Amino acid sequence: MSDSKYYFILICSVFLSFTSCKDTKEYNVNSSFTDYLQRFEAEGATRGHTFDPETNGLIIEFANLKDNTAGLTHYEKPIRIEIDKTYWNDISGSAGADLMKENLIFHELGHGLLNRDHLNSTLPNGDWKSIMCGGTKVNDRSWNINYRGVRRNYYIDELFNESTQAPVFGSLTNPIDTTGYRSVVQYNFDTPSQSGWTLGDSTNYNIRQANGRLSFESKVNEVYLVLLKLKTPVSILTDFSYELTLNFPLGDLTKQYGLVFGPVPAVSTGNNDPIEFFTINNNRKMYMGNRSWYSYFTELTEASVIPGGNNKFKIFKIGQTLYYYINGVYCYSSEMVAASTLTEFGFLVPVMGTVGLDNLRISQKGSANVSARVNSGMSVEFKVQKANQFIIPNIKNQ
């Protein structure tokens, strides 16, 4: 994405029979983009906008764009849009590719057919206000937009009407009742018997218990998923909460650590499973998403994060929505991707990092909390699994 616009004066001249004027109503849209153009026209029609690009002219074509650019709109006659072919192919193999492509094409058509500029303001919860974000970076933030579910509906409304009212999901008012959850699994790590994971030093990592907490030290250049596997899985229909206090010492401010959970196949490598994640770093950045997608859904700055300190993560799942909390502060909500029974809950350890943890608890909606340190009603297993780096790709500029 780029905010570059190209203006020029079209001069038509006739030199004998060798030169002619450019066809200002040329229509040439690569078949890869036709469906997204038709969607744009249909969404516009429901909001009072009509387009006839086949008559008035439009070019959308693949190109090899530079400078981390995904799409580029040229203000020519007709409007000409270039889409970076490498990026298009890169996102094609991931879950959510269709919505990412729609986002990209709608953004460029917003420039070309709606004459909209970039808009880089945000909603109260930190989400980008508009699908038209892009161009010059703001505080070095990525352009990732959580373009799904209710957010997609809002972003399309705003695309065609910049005066669209701020959505409910954009509020930071706590939207849910967080009481009435019954603890089904709990580890406080006060003693070795309360450690859960097998303690010991190995070639690749060291797990130890001391001073009422568990410590996991990675010795490899891959991230670790340290997972608790429930023998009695949590139903995807169940409302639950998952909380864990994590500590990652100050150092590399960009390394991410946090919670992971989801359905994990038996032959999993951890590299492209439908694992939900909720991570932060010591630069107070917060990320959430699903491992099967190309990248994280969005990047937020969260003031409640304590750099180098103890950070209490908590997620509530109610219906198909996840509600995220850091240190008791409501931060964000988003529809979950995982659509099958949840079998594993755990945490993410960054490359060559040491994460301390305390007070792991999984609860389900019920009449009362169970005070026992470990609820034997739900037995568990533990495993340690390497995975490729989480959350490397960013959405390219448009």
Q: How confident is the model at residue 335 (pLDDT cuts 50, 70, 90)?
A: very high
pTM of the model: 0.89
* Rounded Cα gap, residues 369 and 44, in angstroms: 50
pLDDT in tens, 212-231: 899 999 999 999 999 988 87
- What residue type is assigned to position 171 of the chain? S
- Contact between residue 96 and residue 149 where contact means Cβ atoms under 8 Å apart: no
- Give the residue among 274, 261, 366 at the shortest CA–CA distance from 314: 261
- 324 has a pLDDT exceeding 60: yes
Q: Which residues contact 139 (CB under 8 A, 6 or more apart)?
A: 301
Angle, CA of 64, 70 and 76, to the nearest 5°:
75
- 20 has a pLDDT exceeding 60: no
Residue 318 has which token pair?
């109610």
pLDDT at 369: 44
Query: What separation in angstroms does the CA of 40 have from each of 52, 110, 116, 160, 341?
Result: 11, 9, 14, 10, 35
- Contact between residue 73 and residue 62 where contact means Cβ atoms under 8 Å apart: no
- What residue type is assigned to position 278 of the chain? F
Work out the average pLDDT over 343-365: 93
- Contact between residue 131 and residue 147 where contact means Cβ atoms under 8 Å apart: yes
pLDDT at 16: 31
- Give the residue among 391, 303, 302, 292 at the shortest CA–CA distance from 348: 391
Can you state the percent helix, strand and coil of the chain, rounding each to 5? Answer: 15, 35, 50
pLDDT at 393: 64
- 27 has a pLDDT exceeding 80: yes
Q: For residue 5, how many C-alpha atoms fall within 13 Å in the half-sphere facing its CB? A: 11
* Rounded Cα gap, residues 29 and 103, in angstroms: 17
pLDDT at 237: 85
What is the torsional sign of CA 197, 198, 202, 208? positive
Higher per-residue confidence, 233 vs 62: 62
- Give the residue among 116, 160, 92 at the shortest CA–CA distance from 1: 116
- Contact between residue 220 and residue 352 where contact means Cβ atoms under 8 Å apart: yes
- 92 has a pLDDT exceeding 60: yes
* Rounded Cα gap, residues 132 and 111, in angstroms: 8
Q: What percent of the chain has pLDDT over 70?
A: 90
- 265 has a pLDDT exceeding 80: no
- 275 has a pLDDT exceeding 60: yes
- 209 has a pLDDT exceeding 80: yes
Q: How confident is the model at residue 366 (pLDDT cuts 50, 70, 90)?
A: confident
What is the torsional sign of CA 101, 102, 108, 113? positive
Longest dimension (CA), the chain: 93
Q: What percent of the chain has pLDDT over 90?
A: 67
Ranges of H-type helices in the chain? 31-45, 53-56, 85-92, 97-112, 149-160
- Give the residue among 366, 369, 347, 342 at the shortest CA–CA distance from 357: 347
Work out the average pLDDT over 70-91: 96
pLDDT in tens, 239-263: 999 999 999 998 889 999 999 998 8
pLDDT at 380: 67
Q: Give the mean pLDDT of the chain.
A: 88
pLDDT in tens, 135-181: 999 998 999 999 999 999 999 999 999 999 999 999 999 999 999 99
Q: Tell how many helices (H) and how many strands (E) occur in the chain.
A: 5, 20
pLDDT at 395: 80
* Rounded Cα gap, residues 286 and 302, in angstroms: 6
pLDDT at 11: 28
Task: State the residue for tokens 């502060």.
Answer: 329
Task: State the residue for tokens 């909603």.
Answer: 123
Q: How far is CA 196 from the centre of its chain?
A: 30
- Contact between residue 386 and residue 220 where contact means Cβ atoms under 8 Å apart: yes
* Rounded Cα gap, residues 160 and 116, in angstroms: 9
pLDDT at 85: 97
- Please, what's the b/e burial string for 376-392 (b: 16 or more CB within 10 A of its CB; e: otherwise)? eebebeeebbbbeebbe
Work out the average pLDDT over 73-78: 96
pLDDT in tens, 180-207: 999 888 888 888 887 878 899 999 999 9
pLDDT at 374: 44
Task: Report the CATH architecture of 181-387.
Answer: Sandwich (2.60)
Residue 240 has which token pair?
């639950």
Work out the average pLDDT over 61-69: 95
First to last CA, the chain: 1
- Contact between residue 220 and residue 384 where contact means Cβ atoms under 8 Å apart: no
- Ramachandran region, residue 72 (left: φ > 0; alpha: ψ -120 to 50; beta: rest): beta
